[in-house]
Each structure stands twice: as C-alpha cells, then as structure tokens.
Structure 1
Amino acid sequence: MWTSNQKLGYLCITAHFIDSSWTLQNRIITFCLLETPHNADNMFDMVQKSLRDWKIEDRIFSFTLDNAPVNTSMVGHLRKNLVDRYLVHHSGKLLHVRCAAHVLNLVVQDGLDAMASVVDRIRESVLYVKSSQGRMKKFNAMIARVGLACKNHPSLDVPTRWNSTYLMLESSLPFRAAFEALKETDKDYKFAPSASEWEMAEAICHLLGAFYTATKKISGRIYPTSHLYFYDVWNVKQIMEKEVTSENPTIVAM
C-alpha cells in the first residue's frame, strides 16, 4: 500500500521471477487506486483480480509484505482461496513472508525516539550552516581553520526516513571540530551539541550503521535475499547485546 499526498490509497504489486534464461527479473504488474475502505477484503479482491488477469494464480510461491495487520488478514484470505483450489504449495504455510527490512525499520524508529534530542541538535546544526551562503562561507572558514580536509559537507536528513538520519550523522561527525569552532565565533549558532552529545551521536551512528548495512543488503532487487538476511540480522543482534551493557543509560534505552 502507498498513500499519496491527497490521501488516496494505491496498491502496488511487484512480481519477482526467474525467466527462461535463469535470470532473476522483477516487474510491477499492478499499480492501481484502492477503493475505500482500505481493508483486507478490498485488498484481497484487488490482488486476486491481478493474479487472474495475469493468469498466475497457480504460479505463486510467496508474498512479501510488511507487518501491518491488514496485510496479515489479506494474506489469510488469499491463502484460504488458493489452498481450497490446490493452487499453492505446502498448504500455504510459506505464502506470507514478512519483510525483514520493515521489521528493522520498526526497531530503528523505536530506538531513535529515545535519542531524539541528540539527533535534533545535529539536524539543527546542519540546517543552520546550510540555510544561507553567508553561513556556509563562515562554516567553510572554520573547516579550514581546524585543518579538516573533507571534500563533502554534512547532509541534511529527512526526519521520517531513518536511513537519511544515519547518513546525516555519518557525514556530520567528521566536522565536529568545525562545528565547535563555529560555536566560539558565531553568537547566533545556538544548537551546538555538547561533548557528551557528540559522543552519543557516534554511538548512535555505530548502531544505525549495522541496520543500514543490513537493510541495504536485504532490500536488493537484482539478487536473491532470503539467504542473506540471517547473518546481518544476527550481526545487529550482537551489536545491540553489546550496547545494552553500556554505561550510558541513553544508549541502553535506545
């Protein structure tokens, strides 16, 4: 499901299959407006129609969806329909694959809520230096003053996309000295993170890096991913188990 700016719901179905040359392919086979209410019954009707139109009802192995309750209910309807007509393998037990990337996203969003104040400080700092040419010029002067040789500047995130928040932190940390120098020379710059907040940002970035790597790998479209996710999810688990013993209570809360 995808919702437009006009609050209209659209249903998108992407088919992943191996062609006659044993090459993995993916094609959008349906992208249509979903009538209200956006419930399991209406979704099921639309999915079933798409499968019939493409004549692939008997060629479905699994559906990968996020963990929304409506998706679980819709797949339940679909499973019963296909099983009753003997069109799916193993009584449909493998039909519903829960999207691992979405599970990781839920974990990260929950953790970032505990670190909002630190992330906001970094975000406001990046926004401040990017808000005008004059401020960027002054920031560049601070970069030169502290002797940094970075080619790129910090990137600003989209708060609703945690992967962009990770990239913002990753790109901002090398400029810590420049931001600290800016604090000393610019009385209007009031968002400078403290030393402890910078250290916190480093810890957050380390944690998010594991999630970012895992999500990027298991979101690939040109290669199979079902055999890849376990190692990266296990790596995330190892890092989280290590950080839960941190002396910093905020990191533990995350």
Structure 2
Amino acid sequence: MVVTCHYVDSSWNLQKRNLNFCDVPPPHTGIVVCDVLNKCLVEWEIENKVRTITVDNATYNDVAIRMLKENLSYKNNLPLGGKLFHLQLSSKKLVMDCCTKWNATYCMLSTALEFKDVFPRYQQRDPTYNTLPSEEDWDKVRVVCSFLQEFNEVTHIISGSEYPTSNLFLPELYNIKRLLNNTSMGEGSFMKDIVNKMKTKFDKY
C-alpha cells in the first residue's frame, strides 16, 4: 500500500509526496489497513494534521476509514498485544493480579477500568479473544474497586515509615470493621459473599 500526502506549502503551492510503501500481507481487512495507515501517520507525526482521506472503492476501506476517524480523535498511543490503540489514559500498562495480596487485586481492577474502552477494540483485532467483559461485569468491578479503595488507603496510612503509626492504628482498624459491617448488610449478593469471608479473617486475627 502506498501512502501519498497532498498538502499546501507556505507559498500556497500544492505539493505531493509519497510518505511510505507499506507491506500489507493478506487478509486485507479494514482493521489491518487501518492499523498500517495509522502507524504511518504516527511515525510521521502528522496524525493531528490530517484533513481528508481518499481511498479506492474496496469495501474493506469503509471499515478502515471509520476506525481511523475514531483513532485520530485521540492523541496517546497505547501498545497492547502488538496493536496500536489511541486512547487518553493516565496509565500505560495493565497490572497483573497476585492471588495472595488483595491490594494487587485492587490495582489490577482499577487499572482495568481505565482500559475499559480498549478491550472491545482488541476483540475487533483478535478473533481468538473471547473473554470480553460485559457491562454487568464492569459494574461489579466498579463496586469491588470502591470497596477495596478504602482498604488501600488504610494500608498506606498504617504502613507509613516516615511518621508514627501506632496512634493511627486503632481508628483505621475501626474504619475497616465499619466498612465490613456496612457492606455485609448492603445489597448485592456477590459482595456479601466476599465480605463475609473477609469478616471471618478479621474476627480471627
């Protein structure tokens, strides 16, 4: 695929340049064409200067142009699975869970929420990806993150090393107990199961 640029120079003369000769192996799907063209624009740092795009009448170009228009409305490049995604995110990588640390679960889920819009795009590019979270799943993630956020804050307060923490321990411990009690009496069966297990450990220790 040849990427050609037409532009008007400072003297108001129309210029034409071939920017790139791109190797595009089959299948020539709209997603593949979009990724190749988008990569070329980013490498030339002109993704924010594109005004019009002209393609031939191949049907896959309809998909390619639609996706490219979506991509060009964002500024940050996010690598994921070897593909380019364009989303404005504060984080640049996912966090893996550690089954023995609840705060790792909090970090993983809260970061996944930032990447929520990436997962459907990844599914479009990888037909083997069949674990796309549903809206109900994301709602549960938000609830769990809100719950674990207080634990995360308390942990940072109690585990501080540059100030005394003995005077802070009991009030923060009470806050945890209050959070467990309130959540266990609230609605949402999946949270009750989680909290009851946590209360058992809390009462034990």
TM-score (norm 2): 0.49
Determine which structure has the larger helix proportion and give its number: 1
Greater RCO between the two (CA within 8 Å, min separation 6)? 1
TM-score (norm 1): 0.41
* Larger-gyration structure (1/2): 2
